């Protein structure tokens, strides 16, 4: 009877020893695949040993995702009141501008008005510059994404202001204002101008990527803004507010691009007359 406690203790110790051995074996079996996997990861960096003297965007996989603020983050002050001296002065200046518009002015107005959206024309300009500077694959996609994202942010900010202030069009305050033949007043408030916000946003972003094109891009943006007044559908202050939005939006976006590991500016023209290489 005295031996029973000793036997029980011996069996208990033996059981714990066997159990600990099983756990150790299980841990070893779990660690082995992990070590093997780490070995594969180390050798995978060598890939299949493809090499090239001038590889295209080899670091694109490390570029950071693009981020844009909501349009509601950007605000402009209220426009002048409908019966204010400033609005009356703007109407007088607008009518003088309309009276002096030329056939060339009308052609330009129609070019930017008779399109699905001004975005379409600016995206075409973006593609032309991508081709001119020989951007490929991820680089060209990134430029398009930034231009589109910036335009989207500016336009949502613009339309937030439009429906906050509900400013009438010049033609609403002065029905004597005549639009070019075939033109119609857009079905949304005047302040700020969507075409102008798009123009300046695209011009600022593209000027950042392609600094040699800055003068021409900004000249086009100025002409687009002026054409909205020449058409008779916007006050000058509509354009001023739109430009203010574009400046604020693009300043934030350009600031964020400087730290995302990707190329920033392109100055060397590489267009050889061929589109070969984009995405291939």
DSSP assignments along 13-66, one per residue: HHHHHHHHHHHHHHHHHHHHHHHHHHHHHHHHTTTT----SS-S-TTGGGPPPP
- pTM (two decimals): 0.77
254 in helix, strand or coil? helix
Residues in the chain: 280
- State the pLDDT at residue 58: 63
- State the pLDDT at residue 118: 82
Enumerate residue ranges in the chain where pLDDT < 70. Answer: 1-46, 55-66, 271-280
Q: How far is CA 2 from CA 5, 6, 7, 12, in A?
A: 7, 8, 10, 17
- State the pLDDT at residue 32: 45
Quote the DSSP letter at residue 71: G
- State the pLDDT at residue 260: 73
Reference 253, options 209, 190, 192, 189; nearest CA is 209
- State the pLDDT at residue 55: 64
Q: Read off the pLDDT of residues 141-168 as tens digits, 9 standing for 90 and up.
A: 999 999 999 999 999 999 999 999 999 9
CATH of domain 82-257: 1.10.606.20
Q: Is the peptide bond preceding residue 192 cis, with omega within 30 degrees of 0?
A: yes
- State the pLDDT at residue 44: 47
The string of DSSP codes covering 96-127 is: HHHHT--HHHHHHHHHHHSSS-HHHHHHHHHH
Burial (CB count within 10 angstroms: exposed 0-12, middle 13-18, buried 19+), residue 125: middle
């Amino acid at each position: 009877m005295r031996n029973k406690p000793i036997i029980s203790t011996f069996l208990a110790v033996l059981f714990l020893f066997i159990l600990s051995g099983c756990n150790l074996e299980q841990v070893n079996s779990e660690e082995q695949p992990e070590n093997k996997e780490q070995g594969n990861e180390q050798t995978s960096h060598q890939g299949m040993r493809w090499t090239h003297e001038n590889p295209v965007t080899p670091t694109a996989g490390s570029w950071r995702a693009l981020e844009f603020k909501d349009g509601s983050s950007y605000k402009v002050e209220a426009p002048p009141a409908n019966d204010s001296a400033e609005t009356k002065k703007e109407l007088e200046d607008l009518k003088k501008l309309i009276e002096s518009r030329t056939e060339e002015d009308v052609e330009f107005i129609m070019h930017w008005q008779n399109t699905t959206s001004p975005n379409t024309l600016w995206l075409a300009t973006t593609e032309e510059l991508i081709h001119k500077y020989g951007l490929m694959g991820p680089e060209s996609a990134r430029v398009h994404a930034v231009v589109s994202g910036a335009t989207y942010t500016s336009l949502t900010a613009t339309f937030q202001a439009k429906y906050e202030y509900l400013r009438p069009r010049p033609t609403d305050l002065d029905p004597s204002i005549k639009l070019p033949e075939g033109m119609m007043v857009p079905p949304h408030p005047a302040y700020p101008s969507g075409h102008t916000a798009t123009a300046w946003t695209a011009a600022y972003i593209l000027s950042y990527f392609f600094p040699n094109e800055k003068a021409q891009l900004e000249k086009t943006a100025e002409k687009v803004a002026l054409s909205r007044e020449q058409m008779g559908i916007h006050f000058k202050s509509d354009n001023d507010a739109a430009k203010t939005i574009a400046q604020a939006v693009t300043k934030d976006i350009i600031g964020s691009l400087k730290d995302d590991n990707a190329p920033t500016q392109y100055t060397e023209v590489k267009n050889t007359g061929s589109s070969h290489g984009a995405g291939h």
